[in-house]
Amino acid sequence: MEADKRTTTICTVFAIDHTALYYSVCSFCERTLPESNTAAPSVPHCEHCNFTRNTTAVPHHGSTSNPSKRLFRVLMSVATETKVSVVVVFDRAARVLFGCSAQHFFDFAKLHPFAAETTGKILEGEMLKVTLSKPKNGNAQHHRVVSVVPLKSGFRPVIDTLREVYGVRADC
């Protein structure tokens, strides 16, 4: 098996695709669930572990009764010295930029419908040091960001700025 090739580079965020910031996975086996563009599927059902909403077994804390959970997957165009390219930022790296979980962001965006668009504006022009990994899977079209470090001193996660923009207290 080929080891993935990693490169670290400095880039500037050119734009993000704010229409698709996250995807849903099964809470139990973490496989991707099919989803329509915006709303959660009405009856989440995981074909891999056969978990459905009606299953009563809840292995974790009581609050984890939701059979699906959201993770970040953000398509971002970034400009390096030589070119503009589209990279995909998965959950772990995206949390650094967002400062919260995808579920938390989703809940926030439900109350503030323009939050995703505003996020695009917040991140535009942000300088980042990113480590990119070339997809092992031949079908994956974009390099994925395995780690991200904002270069601006005093970088504030997106959710902080959003709370300020919308006048929401931090504990909401």
Q: Which residues of this protein are in contact with Zn ion, per CB under 5 A?
A: 26, 28-29, 46, 48-49, 51
* CB of residue 63 to Zn ion, shortest distance in Å: 18
Identify which of residues 28 and 98 has a Cβ nearer to Zn ion in the complex.
28
CA dihedral over 17, 87, 98, 10, signed as positive or negative:
negative
Identify which of residues 33 and 159 has a Cβ nearer to Zn ion in the complex.
33
How many C-beta atoms surround the C-beta of residue 94 within 10 A? Answer: 26
* CB of residue 29 to Zn ion, shortest distance in Å: 3
Identify which of residues 30 and 117 has a Cβ nearer to Zn ion in the complex.
30
Amino acid code (one letter) for 35 = E
28 backbone φψ class: left, alpha, beta (φ>0; ψ -120 to 50) = alpha
Q: What DSSP state is assigned to residue 65?
A: G
* CB of residue 134 to Zn ion, shortest distance in Å: 28
